[in-house]
Chain A
């Protein structure tokens, strides 16, 4: 198993990560070795084994009463935002 330059460019795009030209071959090599390593799993016999997503038995998604539990913390939360105007998050223009 070996990933190509095009594979890594596609993955980086899907993950919304900019990768520089210099970094690209490093990631091609590192990701190929990681994918090779995890490919060992294909040797394990798993017919009739159900996938496991949660390590504990008998757990279920809890529901709570549908009532308001949080107050308005907009200003507090937006204090961490890179750019805010009139209580809104500012991003580059999306619609011309």
Chain B
């Protein structure tokens, strides 16, 4: 079936005209019709536009043009602005917002000829680890509909796992690509901070936010990252550095690669989960890698540091939602203050309000030094420890999450328990490091993720290591029952 083919295989069929982009797009749209509603994976389906874009891709293919993504369907997380298409960010606040321009990520996929099928469900403003904070309702995990898919890019992850598209985009501020990728058994790539433009990607925490992708495999993610990555003058923190050929990098040998096991990632990890990570390390040893233990003593402080820095930046970024220029406005405001307060109070959901208030508190007079400045200092300690670790090893390996997917509703009433779910992913965000999550086994029928973290701009090395693992294992080819 078409949805089990790799992007390389699909592109070859498109380029040889054996398959048209319209046929391929119809195939995935019919899967979205069939599986999308029960999973609640999409907020908006853009079927008509998709078929017209696919026809345009077929014209380009007919002229002899070719490209790794020309005519390939994809789904964007609903955090990316898409011109003329509702961009809700999972919030009532933006339920009526039609983006007036494309995010750079969206524009670059369009230029590459990729065909957007729709917009994926997500935790409101990307705040959450379970996708239960969406105004449009929770997303179900394709492996078990009583379980969460993870968050915040839960719709993108569930859509990739159920093969509703060969590619889906996501954003990762504290683990929002890697954690749902782990919980749904797909490959998720979070690039270096600044590698992919944030222009048109609705801001949550500007010093942490980074766009990335979900795919069946690293080999499928490589051409997508290639299309997304690179300097953009419209993002003031975009890094002007050359982008390597990620697909070519997959062929490099692994022999002699030095892999570090993060001691702090194994403390308290459930034995069955730890065993799967050690099995993965055994695969790497057979492939010629060396492993050694490394320690980042300040890593346990990354969660509290993050839950100061991220809410502080969120409270500032989300001040733009004022009920005046765009978005939700309350009924019959009595004065301007009432308009601001009720538009925001009614337009934002509970978790977003908690984070705005946490951020407002840690930035307020009398608390700034004790919380915000303190967290930024702890952030430096963590960054320095990662830097020191990368003088000894080429990349770090550990679990992506402490447990497989948990029950819907299990943690929703306890924000701190929910926050601790990000314990293994947040370090890479604070340090701006690239990281990916790969499927590495199952516990009780639920997928488990292996996380690889590399130094800044080592996406090529990380993806090569991920690809080699996927050549030696078949965890990434498993499909949830009922989605064949």
Binding site for B on A (CB under 8 A): 3, 7-8, 11-20, 23, 26-27, 30-31, 33-35, 37-42, 44, 46, 49-56, 59, 61-62, 64, 73, 76-77, 79-83, 89, 91-94
Contacts and interface: CB of A to CB of B under 8 A. Distances in A.
Contacts of A49: 377, 380-381
B100 A80 contact: yes
A51 B373 contact: yes
Interface residues of B, number: 73
B140 interface: no
B327 A80 contact: yes
B330 to A, nearest CB: 8
Contacts of B192: 56
A55 B328 CA distance: 34
B301 A17 contact: no
Interface string B320-342: 00111111110001111111111
Choose among A38, A39, A46 the residue with the greatest number of B CB atoms under 10 Å from its CB: A38
Nearest to A75: B100
B376 to A, nearest CB: 3
Given A11-B360, A33-B416, A38-B375, A18 B381 contact: no
A31 B339 contact: no
B344 interface: yes
Nearest to A62: B236
A81 to B, nearest CB: 6
B345 A18 contact: yes
B237 interface: yes
A83 B360 CA distance: 28
Interface in B266-319: 298, 301, 304-305, 307-308, 315, 319
B353 interface: yes
Interface string B370-389: 11011111111101000000
A30 B339 contact: no
Contact of B432 (A11, A15, A42, A55): A55
Contacts of B419: 34, 37
B375 A91 contact: no
B354 to A, nearest CB: 6
B100 A79 contact: yes
Given A18-B344, A59-B237, A52 B358 contact: no
Contacts of A80: 96-98, 100, 325-327
B100 A77 contact: yes
Q: Is the interface of B mostly helix, strand, loop or mixed?
A: helix
A23 B354 CA distance: 11
A8 B220 CA distance: 48
A73 to B, nearest CB: 7
B305 A41 contact: yes
Choose among A33, A42, A44, A62 the residue with the greatest number of B CB atoms under 10 Å from its CB: A44
B377 A33 contact: no
Given A49-B381, A50-B380, A82-B329, A17 B239 contact: no
Contact of B374 (A46, A59, A62, A82): A46
Given A83-B329, A94-B336, A17 B341 contact: yes
B361 interface: yes
B6 interface: no
Contact of B364 (A14, A44, A61): A14
Contacts of B307: 34, 37-38
A91 B344 contact: no
B325 A81 contact: yes
A49 B384 CA distance: 11
A2 B308 CA distance: 16
A82 B323 contact: yes
B193 interface: yes
A19 B236 CA distance: 35
Nearest to A18: B345
A55 B302 CA distance: 14
A31 B383 contact: no
B228 interface: no
Given A41-B304, A52-B379, A81 B326 contact: yes
A79 B361 contact: no
B336 A17 contact: no
A38 B341 contact: no
Given A41-B374, A56-B456, A80-B97, A64 B233 contact: yes
Contact of A31 (B207, B308, B354, B433): B354
B370 A42 contact: yes
Nearest to B371: A38
A55 B455 CA distance: 12
A51 B364 contact: no
Contact of A37 (B100, B304, B375): B304
A41 B378 contact: yes
Interface string B85-110: 00000000000111010000000000
